[in-house]
Amino acid sequence: MKKLLLVSILGFVSLNVLAESEVMITHPLDADKDGLISVDEAQQDSTLTAIFTDLDINQDGFLSRLELEVKAEDEDQTN
């Protein structure tokens, strides 16, 4: 009985995670919809290209949603 309950809970949790990932909003420049903006994708915006290195906090060559949010929060605080 405990195993059945555990399997049921895990099933519902995994369905919830999948449902959330399908509605994930991607940035308009994220052409491959992987949740990251690469250097190549950023080249569509000259301003983003100019500040890409500054935004890429972990220096992995991609901008994550978190890295873009950190920059947006910094701008909000300076205005």
Mean pLDDT score, 65-75: 74
Q: Where are the chain's structural domains?
A: 2-78
The β-bridge partners of 74 are: none
Q: Which CATH class is domain 2-78?
A: mainly alpha
Copy the structure tokens of residue 51. 């500040």
Mean pLDDT score, 9-37: 65
pLDDT digits (tens, 9 = 90+) for 6-16: 333 444 444 44
pTM of the model: 0.62
pLDDT digits (tens, 9 = 90+) for 32-48: 999 899 999 999 999 88
Amino acid 47 reads: T
